[in-house]
Amino acid sequence: MLRRLLIPALLCQTLPALAQDAIKLSPLPKLLEETSSGPWGTLEYYKVRLSCPPQYLSLVPVPSAQTEWIFPYETEEELLQALAEDGMSFEEIAYLLKDRHLIITEEFMRIFPSPEVITGMPAALRSKFYRILARFPQNTFHHRPAFLNTANVSLYFKDSDLSVTILQKIALLAYPSPSGHGFFLSDIPYLLKEADGSEAERRILNALLRVPALMVRLNLSKVESVEGVSNYWKSRFRNKQIAPLFDSIMANPHIQRIDIGHLLPPTARQNLNSFPGMGEGLSGSSPDWFWTCYNFFRFTPVNVYANLEGRDELLAKEFSRGTAPYEFGDMLLLKSQGRTIHGCIYIAEDIVYTKNGAGLLVPTILMKLQDMVSYHDLEGDIALEIYRKTPHNRKTSVISGSGSKSN
H-run or E-run covering 340: strand 339-348
Q: Which of 38, 46, 24 lies closest to 259, judged by CA?
A: 46
Q: What is the torsional sign of CA 93, 99, 105, 110?
A: negative
Domain boundaries, the chain: 23-52+212-273+285-389, 69-209
Helix (H, G, I), strand (E, B) or coil at 383: strand
What distance in Å separates the CA atoms of residue 184 and residue 150, rounded to the nearest whole number? 10
* pTM listed for this prediction: 0.86
Q: Please, what is the Cα angle at 207 between 157 and 217, to 5 degrees?
A: 70
Between 160 and 330, the more confident residue is: 330
Question: What pLDDT is stored for residue 281 in this prediction?
Answer: 57
pLDDT digits (tens, 9 = 90+) for 58-87: 777 777 888 999 999 999 999 999 999 999
Q: What is the torsional sign of CA 351, 357, 361, 363?
A: positive
pLDDT over 70 percentage in the chain: 87
Q: Which of 49, 46, 42, 33 lies closest to 348, judged by CA?
A: 42
Question: What pLDDT is stored for residue 19 in this prediction?
Answer: 32
Question: What pLDDT is stored for residue 109 in this prediction?
Answer: 96
pLDDT digits (tens, 9 = 90+) for 19-62: 333 344 444 445 889 988 999 999 999 999 998 888 877 777 77
| pLDDT average, residue stretch 134-160 | 90
Range in 172-181, 256-265, 305-314, 387-396 the model is least confident about: 387-396
What distance in Å separates the CA atoms of residue 361 and residue 209, rounded to the nearest whole number? 8
Question: What pLDDT is stored for residue 392 in this prediction?
Answer: 59
Question: What pLDDT is stored for residue 405 in this prediction?
Answer: 36
Question: What pLDDT is stored for residue 284 in this prediction?
Answer: 61
Question: What pLDDT is stored for residue 21 in this prediction?
Answer: 38
pLDDT over 90 percentage in the chain: 65
User: What are phi and psi for residue 110, nearest 5 degrees?
Assistant: -115, 125
pLDDT digits (tens, 9 = 90+) for 88-144: 999 999 999 998 899 998 889 999 999 999 999 999 999 999 999 999 999 999 999
